[in-house]
Structure 1
Amino acid sequence: MTTPFRRPTADELAAAHGTTIPDVAAPGLRVLFCGINPGLWSGATGRHFARPGNRFWPALHRSGFTPRQLRPDEQQELLAYRLGITNVVARTTARADELTAAEYREGGAALVGRVTALRPRVLAVLGIGAYRAAFGRPKAAVGPQSEGIGATQVWVLPNPSGLNAHYTPEAIAAEFRRLREAVEAAEAAEGAAGGGDDGAPG
């Protein structure tokens, strides 16, 4: 494992190829964020969205999900905010285009199983292409999806990778904020109706 301040060596990055890293997850989350698959920096450090330039952590903070910008080595603190991280495909690669169509389909099926067990309020898939490939929804767009997984609502958010030139950091944060506002509105509506949160830890 590396420290948060040291760049992984070329040998460490090469050794990380094809490895897996643990999810940050627990039952009853508000949002389970789902990346495409871990990159080499994540594989080498054991931390999600670890590569400098990835916009996941800044977007979480700018959108209001976290009161400050967490570092990748602070990922376990997400659970205190009832947020978590998983991936469509567990295998670490240098680039997402190394993944096969079969891996996406198998990853989507496995993801349904995890979501069914953990029952987050929302599953937020970070990447429209990954969602389309994993769930067989070729016309899906960014935002809330019409089909959920059990009681879990599904959203698609932009891929926060620095390689995604279609979205600026501000635009990514805006989509994250739209999700946060929808989650808070649903929670408020439940509170007004006297509903609970299934006893999930706060």
Structure 2
Amino acid sequence: MPIRPTKDQLAAAQDKTIPDVLKPGLDVLFCGINPGLYSGALGLHFARPGNRFWPALHAGGFTPRLLDPSEQRELLDLGLGITNVVARTTARADELTGDELRAGGKRLVETVLEFNPRWLAILGITAYRTAFGEKHAGVGRQSRKIGETGVWVLPNPSGLNAHWTPAGLAAEFAALRAQLVT
């Protein structure tokens, strides 16, 4: 388990980036809004202990066991990857501008067209709406496709998104997982 970053390490992580966990032909490319400072300090996606991405991924049937963020590269062997709409780290997602999110949406389209996953799963409805200009989009399967890639919106797994319970997150992840076996 990674060591908890210090206050100075968190401050130094502002505006850093974390490499994507990515290869061609994945089943699902999970896309966060942007990495937080905790993730930036450790160089790992969804690293903050209160983030519910890893538990939801497991509970939704994507992983055979609960993975630690330090095991993120193991996702590739499961046909899964991770990227972000905006690459730079911030303390909170609301520090991002609409222009950054829209530019990130364009970059994300390029990434998807290059790597061709079966599904792009964006983790955060507000970020998706802004990045893709879809004001009324909801959680779940979207009508939009990027090349041959389907687009799915999942709830933001941040612990700050208390509206979604762990069971609710798991159910949404499982709904996407069910698409892989049909």
The answer to whether the aligner puts 1:166 opposite 2:170 as a matched pair is no
Q: Which residue of 2 aligns with 1:178?
A: 175
The code of the aligned residue for 1:140 comes to: A
What letter is aligned with 2:8? Answer: D
Alignment of 1:111-150 (within 5 A): 111-150=108-147
Q: Which amino acid aligns with 1:184?
A: V
C-alpha separation between the residues in 2 aligned to 1:107 and 1:60? 23
After TM superposition, give the deviation of residue 184 of structure 1 in Å.
Answer: 1.2
User: Cα offset for 1:103?
Assistant: 0.1
What is the TM-score when the length of structure 1 is the normalising length? 0.89
1:59 to 2:56 alignment: yes
> The residue matched to 1:146 in structure 2 has which SS?
strand
Q: After superposition, what is the alpha-carbon deviation per residue over 1:71-129, rounded to whole angstroms, capped at 9, x for unaligned? A: 00000000000100000000100000000010000000000000000000000000000
SS of residue paired to 2:58: helix
Letter aligned with residue 63 of structure 1: G
Provide the C-alpha distance between the structure 1 equivalents of 2:173 and 2:131, rounded to a whole number of angstroms.
21
Amino acid at match of 2:70: D
- Asked if the contact 2:2–2:42 (Cα under 8 Å) also holds between the matched residues in 1, the reply is no
Equivalent pairs counted in the alignment come to 182
The equivalent position to 2:33 in structure 1, one of 36, 39, 50, is: 36
Return the index of the structure with the highest Cα Rg. 1
**Residue 42 of structure 2 corresponds to which residue in structure 1?**
45
Tell me, in whole angstroms, the C-alpha distance in 2 between the residues paired with 1:83 and 1:125: 13
1:26 paired to 2:23: yes
CA distance in 2, matches of 1:70, 1:10: 26
Q: What TM-score does the superposition give when structure 2 sets the normalisation length?
A: 0.99
Which runs of no fewer than 5 residues in structure 2 stay unpaired? none
Corresponding position of 1:106: 103
For structure 1, list consecutive stretches of 5 or more residues without a partner in the other structure.
186-202
Q: Residue 2 of structure 2 contacts residue 70 of structure 2 at CA under 8 Å; is this kept in 1?
A: no
Moved over 2 A (4+): none
Partner of 1:15: 12
Identity of aligned residues (%): 68
- Aligned pairs for 1:82-101 (under 5 A) are 82-101=79-98
More strand by percentage: 2
Amino acid at match of 1:128: I
2:149 counterpart (146, 149, 152) = 152
Give me the whole-angstrom Cα distance separating, in 2, the residues matched to 1:5 and 1:141: 35
Q: Which amino acid aligns with 2:152?
A: W
> Following TM superposition, by how much is the alpha carbon of 1:5 offset from its aligned partner in structure 2, in angstroms?
3.6
